[in-house]
Structure 1
Amino acid sequence: MSFFSNITVGQYYPGNSLVHRLDPRAKLLAMPLIMAGVLLAQGPVGYLAAGLPILFGYAMAKVPLAALWRGMRFLWIFLIISLILQAVTYPGETLWEWGIISVSREGLLLGLRLIYRLVLLVLAAMLLTMTTTPVNLTGAMEKLLQPLKRLGVPVHELAMMMTIALRFVPTLLEEAEVVMKAQQARGGSLTTGSLEKRLGAAVALLVPLLAGSLRRADELAIAMEARCYRGDNGRTRLKQFQYRYLDFLILLILFASTILVGLERWV
């Protein structure tokens, strides 16, 4: 059974929806507003106001539920562990007890709120990468950080590094899948055997992955030099970004949603 091939983190889902057509700079600016709303949410109105923009974004982007589930499937293990830890370690009214283990009502509610926030944050990040190409992300990031260039910050290089890292996540996962299948064909496995054997198999998996990453980095550097890449000196762009009224409207709605969440928390 495939272990890494179904992970969709960092992958772009082609489309022509309203979310796909938004200016990449507007989508990047929307992320801090969404994150602030999610982290500030406390009551029912706040949780609803923080989650609805993300759900509407997926509805407008028309991303298949299967792709969404593949991107979230491995997160649920971490979320369930976090819920259990919060429920058994946080003091409060006991709902269930077995020996020295007790589940508190306050801990369970705290764990559910934590899971809700983490899921919304991951969904927001996935919506950004699924509806924006790496090239557009690079350009938008560079445009937004352009004022820092006057202070000597290598804005273009930083944006390029982050985009290359994001682009090669699916490639590394595919390579890890190939190495795992090769090890299984030779009798090795990460999921069976004693703990010592599993650790040995994990080390055997990391070594070829590291070697492959270094090889790909060297090949990428040679390819960029062969194409006379010299950073952003004298560089022009085929596609110019331009804000539209819809971009400002989306940002205004998100800003109002964040204010609503903050008012419920502090008023």
Structure 2
Amino acid sequence: MDLLRSLPIGLYLEKPTTWLHHIDPRVKLFWLLSFLFAPVLATLEWRIGLVLILVALTISARIPWRVWKQQMGWLLAIGFFAFIITAITPDGLGIDYQQRLPASGLELPQPTSYQYVVYKAGKVLVTRRSLDLAIRLSTILFILIYSSSLFLLTTAPEEITAALEYFMQPLKRFKVPVTEIILTLTLSLRFIPLVLEEIQNLARSINTRAIEWKKLGLRKSLSVWLIVADRLLENLLARAEQIAVAMDVRGFTSPNRHRVQWHILRFRAVDWLAIAVLVGFWSARLLWGGVE
């Protein structure tokens, strides 16, 4: 199994290029923060609306189904199980449900159709409060994880670091090494695929040896995995040393002296449109999103 392609989250989609790819990373970063903070103290209707907005963005961007299935399939499963578990667990109010009918069994007409218990079958009890908590938990899980995943899916690592460097420029007045921090972050993001590649190579080498784990026992199996972990660490340190030597040979003695501009930031018409929609988004949030 190719870990570089089967990993369900955090991968950058190079092809096909969608309209989300063309938006400036600074604008997309503000949109990401908006999706992260908008569900706070929001109503249930607003949270469900955010879920629908994320799904609509994915469909309108025409992201391939294979990518959408990897990104959203396991997340929907987690959200569904979180919804079910939270809905059937006790709501924490500790209410003793008493019979409200007269002792004679005469049924009186109720003023409204309101019922605190939504569903009851044996020991399975779903109340309005537990259902409310289930919707809150499942939607917040989906919004926080999938919005971040969609941001990483349509934004290259170099664009992310360029946007962060732009916003961190005022810190240079306080002698914060912004350029060094951004260069380290860029190298870290580029190093992640190398880590996955080394793990994949070691996993394949173990599979080709057809080790019978049941015969080894727990202690010998643990020793084998310790050897594998040691080999992984050794390979990663060797890769890091090769990168350091390559940078040193090419004159990367300091970030300011030999600097490569990975991505040029500039606003386009689609970016101004995204900013206008963002202003409308927060206006709707403050007017109709509610504060609970």
Match of 2:276 in 1: 252
In structure 2, the partner of 1:163 is: 186
Cα shift at 1:143: 1.2
RMSD (CA atoms): 3.6
Query: How far apart are 1:6 and its partner, in Å?
Result: 0.6
* Counterpart position of 1:70: 70
After superposition, the Cα gap between the structure-2 partners of 1:13 and 1:220, relative to the gap in structure 1 and judged at 3 Å, is same
How far the C-alpha of 1:243 sits from its partner, in A, is: 1.3
Would the alpha carbon gap of residues 213 and 145 (structure 1) be closer, same or farther in structure 2, given more than 3 Å must change? Answer: same
1:10-32 deviation per Cα after TM superposition (whole angstroms, max 9, x unaligned):
32212433211111221122211
What 5-or-longer segments of structure 2 have no aligned partner? 94-116
Structure 2 contact 41–291 (Cα < 8 Å) conserved: no
Q: Aligned equivalents of 1:24 and 1:189: distance in 2?
A: 49
Q: Structure 1 residues 262 and 211 mapped into 2: Cα distance closer, same or farther (>3 Å)?
A: farther
CA change 1:255–1:33 in 2 (3 A) is farther
Q: Is the 8 A contact 2:91 2:130 kept in 1?
A: yes
The structure that is helix-richer by fraction is: 1
The unaligned stretches of length 5 or more in structure 1 are none
Seen in structure 2, the aligned counterparts of structure 1 residues 262 and 131 have a Cα distance that, compared at 3 Å, is same
1:120 — aligned with what? Answer: 143
Equivalent residues in 2 for 1:18-33, closer than 5 Å = 18-33=19-34
Whether the 8 Å contact between 1:8 and 1:170 is mirrored in structure 2 is: no
Write the mapping of 1:90-239 to structure 2, written as runs, cut at 5 A: 90-91=91-92, 95=120, 104-105=126-127, 106-188=129-211, 203=226, 205-229=228-252, 230-233=254-257, 235=259, 237=261
Calculate the TM-score normalised by the size of structure 2.
0.72
Cα shift readout 1:197-245 (whole Å, capped 9, x = no counterpart): 8766665554333333222222222222122122134746375321123
* Higher mean C-alpha displacement, 202-211 vs 72-81: 72-81
**Residues in 1 aligned to 2:219 and 2:135: alpha-carbon distance in whole angstroms:** 35
Q: Percent identity?
A: 25
Residue by residue over 1:121-162, the C-alpha shift from the partner in whole angstroms, topping out at 9 and shown as x without a partner, is: 222222222222222222221112111111122222222333
Distance in 1 of aligned mates of 2:79 and 2:163: 32
